[in-house]
Amino acid sequence: MDYQAVLEEVAAYARPFVGRGHVADYIPALARVSPDRFGIAVADINGDVYGTGDWEIPYSVQSISKAFSLALVMAGSHGDDDIWQRVGREPSGTPFNSLVQLEWENGIPRNPFINAGALVVTDRLLTMTGDASTSMLEFLQTESGNPELAFDQAVAGSEADHGDRNAALAHFMASFGNLENPVPSVIEHYFWQCSIEMSCRDLAVAGGFLARHGLRADGSRLLEAREAKRINAVMLTCGTYDAAGEFAYRVGLPAKSGVGGGIVAVVPGRCTLCVWSPGLDARGNSVAGMAALDHFTTLTGWSIF
Ligand code: GLN
């Protein structure tokens, strides 16, 4: 596969979609990003990486961090499936920050990729490591091979200043006994993990273990193959919020998106992709990013379907 040629063609296809949609502004610090950005990168399973456009510009990973926190919790649980007592693995069909299902379902979030579920996962990671956001940052630095990765303090602060809804989700779950740590610590670590800045290059390389059936960049094992399979399955069914059905229909790959405009997608056994363009559709997914991934699987025939 001539990845570079495919990426150039994908970028040309996506160009008319760049700037469409709306840059997230409910976290005010995210709104300073130019809507005209577009970048895409692919890391193959050998670690060779290709990219075009703004593929080396760092941006806020936001909810893409939820895939990594789940991976770290599963990796640290040594086969014990406890986390699935506290969070489900079904698509929610509701927006990523919705409160409504939680009351009906006794404080057990539908899946780990909506905010409520991610708060539970971060809570577990906090118990396991003592410092959830730093352990994630260190993992991402190592796995991406980029020691410069850092938190964006302005984004983390802005999110905390406007974090009433996430605080409400966390308090509500605490009232059902579904948090192990105090609400302020859980939401603080969640805000910090969302604020990590990475480029498409960094994210494609760091997500390589999902394409390598659980093997890290250095060849050591992070996850059992069946655990990597499960994360990819939950990404497919829940990774793009209440648009996961539409995403499977158009793209057909496990993926995790974030309101920073990034989407990480996995072709198991072949490569990990990351695309970024900040204009979001009404469900919080990058408009040009979805168009690009749609065209990528059309060109390559690599939809898992
Ligand atoms: N930090 C964001 C929030 O909690 C993440 C949301 C997202 O990327 N969908 O609202």
pLDDT, one tens digit per residue, over 58-75 is 999 999 999 999 999 999
End-to-end CA distance of the chain: 19
Strands (E), 204-301: 255-257, 262-267, 271-276
Residue matched to tokens 């990774």: 239
Residue 14: what residue type? A
Q: Give the contacts of 30 (CB within 8 A, at least 6 positions apart).
A: 23, 24, 60, 62, 155, 158, 259, 260
Task: Judge if the beta carbon of residue 283 lies within 6 A of ligand 1.
Answer: no
Shortest-distance atom of ligand 1 to CA 115: 4
Q: Whole-prediction pTM value?
A: 0.97
Residue ranges covered by each domain of the chain:
3-300
The token pair at 16 is 């008319």
User: In the CATH hierarchy, which fold is given to the domain comprising 3-300?
Assistant: Beta-lactamase (3.40.710)
What is the per-residue pLDDT for 204?
A: 98
Instruction: Enumerate the known binding-site residues for substrate.
Output: 63, 115, 159, 166, 190, 241, 259
Q: Whose CA is nearest to atom 2 of ligand 1?
A: 62
The neighbouring-strand residues paired with 108 are none
Report the pLDDT averaged over residues 238-266: 97
Q: Give yes or no for residue 149 having a pLDDT over 90.
A: yes
Q: Is the CB of residue 299 less than 8 Å from the CB of residue 98?
A: no
Report the pLDDT averaged over residues 14-43: 97
Residue 189: what residue type? H
d(CA 18, CA 10): 12
Nearest to 169 by CA among 101, 228, 78: 101
Distances (CA, A) of 54 to 131, 144, 200, 273: 32, 17, 8, 14
Q: What is the mean pLDDT of the chain?
A: 96
Task: Judge if the beta carbon of residue 195 lies within 6 A of ligand 1.
Answer: no
Our mutation pick for probing the ligand 1 site, out of 121, 259, 276, counting the most ligand atoms within 8 A of Cβ, is 259
What is the per-residue pLDDT for 147?
A: 98
What is the per-residue pLDDT for 188?
A: 98
DSSP 199: -
Task: Judge if the beta carbon of residue 257 lies within 6 A of ligand 1.
Answer: no
d(CA 245, CA 228): 21
Q: Whose CA is nearest to atom 4 of ligand 1?
A: 115
Shortest-distance atom of ligand 1 to CA 96: 9
d(CA 135, CA 123): 13
Q: Would residue 211 be called left, alpha or beta, if left means φ above 0 and alpha means ψ between -120 and 50 degrees?
A: alpha
Task: Judge if the beta carbon of residue 290 lies within 6 A of ligand 1.
Answer: no
Our mutation pick for probing the ligand 1 site, out of 159, 162, 187, 197, counting the most ligand atoms within 8 A of Cβ, is 159
Catalytic residue annotation: 63, 66, 190, 241, 259
Q: Give yes or no for residue 110 having a pLDDT over 90.
A: yes
Task: Judge if the beta carbon of residue 159 lies within 6 A of ligand 1.
Answer: yes
What is the per-residue pLDDT for 193?
A: 98
Q: Give the contacts of 177 (CB within 8 A, at least 6 positions apart).
A: 107
Task: Judge if the beta carbon of residue 97 lies within 6 A of ligand 1.
Answer: yes
Distances (CA, A) of 283 to 127, 156, 197, 301: 31, 22, 22, 26
Report the separation in Å between the CA atom of 241 and the middle of ligand 1, taken as the mean of its atom positions. Answer: 11
Query: Per residue in 122-145, pLDDT tens?
Result: 999 999 999 999 999 999 999 999
Task: Judge if the beta carbon of residue 123 lies within 6 A of ligand 1.
Answer: no
Indicate the range of 58-62, 75-79, 113-117, 194-198 predicted with least confidence. 75-79
Strands (E), the chain: 39-44, 49-53, 59-60, 150-151, 196-198, 255-257, 262-267, 271-276
